[in-house]
Amino acid sequence: MRPDLDDILSGVQRLLQNDLVPALMTTPFLAEQAMYATLLLEYGKKLWPRLHLTLAEEHGDLRATLSAVVAQLRPESPAGATLAAAVAARLDEPADHVASTTLDVLAQRNAVLRGLVSEVTALLDAHASDAPGAPLEAARATIDAYLQRHAARQYHELELLGLSW
């Protein structure tokens, strides 16, 4: 038997809470730092078991969003067609199956795809003065719906901290 990650982080938490924080009570600043460190360990314990699933879910959402946007951008303008081609090329790249991809590689891929969402957002902003009903509105709606799901995922991570804001 060997300690798993939860055992290790829990042990460090006990050390901080039971020994270090009481010893630091005469220096409130350091005691506060130790308490925040405990909080971060708790966050890590809650995040870690589901992290691969969370990244895989985001990866699927990003690919679905960008695939939809490619279809919506392509016919609209030369700039839209160029960006649509770039996004499509990235989506067509051969990739290992998500389930067999390590966390850091998956996180990096998601960051690249999120960068493409940002590029699409910039393109949409450049055409924001187009008349209402312009075809790019469909792409804007697709991106905005993704942004809401993305914000909800980020908020869920914040909730793992266990602090109320």
Find how far residue 133's CA is from the centre of its chain: 31
3-state secondary structure of 86: helix
Q: Which two structure tokens, joined as six digits, stand for 63?
A: 């690919």
How big is the site for other proteins, counted in residues (CB under 8 A)? Answer: 37
Query: Rounded to the nearest whole angstrom, what is the least distance from the CB of residue 49 to other proteins in the complex?
Result: 18
Alpha helices in the chain (DSSP H): 5-14, 21-23, 28-47, 51-73, 78-92, 103-126, 136-160
Q: Are 149 and 61 in contact (CB under 8 A)?
A: yes
* Choice between 1 and 152, CB closer to other proteins: 152
From candidates 18, 82, 102, 148, binder to other proteins by CB under 8 A: 148
Q: Return the residues of window 109-128 that contact other proteins according to CB under 8 A.
A: 111, 114-115, 117-118, 121-122, 124-125, 128
From candidates 43, 81, 130, 138, binder to other proteins by CB under 8 A: 43
103 contacts other proteins (rule: CB under 8 A): no
From candidates 27, 67, 82, 102, binder to other proteins by CB under 8 A: 27
23 contacts other proteins (rule: CB under 8 A): no
How does DSSP assign 135-151, residue by residue?
Answer: THHHHHHHHHHHHHHHH
Residues 6+ positions from 42 with CB-CB distance below 8 Å? 13, 161, 162
Point out which residues bind other proteins (CB under 8 A): 27-29, 32-33, 36-37, 39-40, 43, 111, 114-115, 117-118, 121-122, 124-125, 128, 143-144, 146-148, 150-152, 154-159, 161, 163, 165
